Amino acid sequence: MEPFVRLTGVAAPILTGNVNTDVLVRVEAMINVPKGKLGPYCFEVWRYLPDRSDNPDFILNQPAYRNAKILLAGVNFGCGSSREPAVWALWDMGFRCVIAPSFGDIFFNNCFQSGMLPIVLPADVIVSLAEDAKAFGDVAPDFTVDLERQVIIAPSGRQTPFKVDELKRHALLEGLDDIGVTLAIAQRITDFQTADRNARPWVYNV
């Protein structure tokens, strides 16, 4: 996994609540398009008109936000299905960080698995970040997200602190491989199963 330490880039606001994972990536793309190529399928239901041309009203189609790396989002972002390609689609579109008042629980976990930083902040704080993210013509200002210091630095220099669970922060900073970490304590899994087999034999008698 690619480590996440510090990121500088444009922040795009999509403050609609309950953005679901079907909106982030449709199931057909999930099946047929490999990881790494999902960018054009992210927000598919919103970013294209029925004839597949770009919907000019969709914010990520506007020149100022086309290269955004940070997404400012609404409540319950990533609700719905467990599809990890929802995170990959955002990643392939260039996003590395999503800031929302709350997340779908499975999507939230999936972000950490893929090197995407999800940050939880109160809705009013995100609204004020969105104010700072306003574009001038075709140019939107840069924000910096610093995971080491756990702070967001707005274009004005204003700093907004945030908090990520230490275990997840460490894994992101180091780009850790979960499986490697777990297999280092494989003996504990074996010990657990041995004891559990005595306590609940029916679980293992298959």
Partner 1 sequence: MGASSLFEKIWSSHVINELGDGFALLHVDRHILHDLNAMKSLVELRERGYAVRNPELTIATPDHGVSSLPGRDINTNAAGTALLRGYLEETKRAGIRAFDVNEDGQGIVHVIGPELGLTQPGHLIVCGDSHTCTHGGLAALGFGMGRSEVIHVLATQTIYQKKPKQMRINFEGVAGHGVTPKDLILYLIGQIGADGGNGHAVEYAGSAIRAMPVEGRLTICNLSIEFGAKVGMIGPDDVAYQYLAGRQMSPKGADWDRALAYWKSLTTDDGASFDHEVSIDVAKVAPQITWGTSPQQVISVEDAIPDPSSGANAADTTAMREALDYMGLTPGRPIAGTAIDAVFIGSCTNSRLSDLREAAAVARGRKVKEGVQAWVVPGSQQVKQAAEAEGLHGVFRQAGFEWREPGCSMCLAANGDLLARGQRAVSTTNRNFEGRQGPGVRTHLASPAMAAAAAVSGAIVDVRKMMV
- Exposed (0-12), middle (13-18) or buried (19+): which is 55, by Cβ within 10 Å? middle
Distance in angstroms (rounded) separating the CA atoms of residues 128 and 181: 39
15 binds partner 1 (CB under 8 A): yes
Residue of 8, 16, 67, 159 that binds partner 1 (CB under 8 A): 16
- Exposed (0-12), middle (13-18) or buried (19+): which is 128, by Cβ within 10 Å? middle
26 binds partner 1 (CB under 8 A): yes
40 binds partner 1 (CB under 8 A): no
Q: How far apart are the first and last CA of the chain?
A: 36
Number of residues counted as binding partner 1 (CB under 8 A)? 58
Per-residue x/- mask for partner 1, residues 122 to 161, rule CB under 8 A? ----------------------------------------
- Exposed (0-12), middle (13-18) or buried (19+): which is 141, by Cβ within 10 Å? middle
Per-residue x/- mask for partner 1, residues 42 to 81, rule CB under 8 A? --xx----x-----------------------xxx--xxx
The smaller minimum CB distance to partner 1, of residues 65 and 107, is found at 107
202 binds partner 1 (CB under 8 A): yes
The dihedrals phi and psi of 62, each to the nearest 5 degrees, come to: -85, 135
Distance in angstroms (rounded) separating the CA atoms of residues 87 and 77: 11
Q: How far is CA 85 from the centre of its chain?
A: 11
Distance in angstroms (rounded) separating the CA atoms of residues 88 and 100: 18
The smaller minimum CB distance to partner 1, of residues 58 and 153, is found at 58
Binding residues for partner 1 (CB under 8 A): 15-18, 20, 22-23, 26-28, 30-32, 44-45, 50, 74-76, 79-85, 87, 102-107, 109-110, 113-114, 165-167, 178-179, 182-183, 185-186, 188-189, 192-193, 196, 200-206
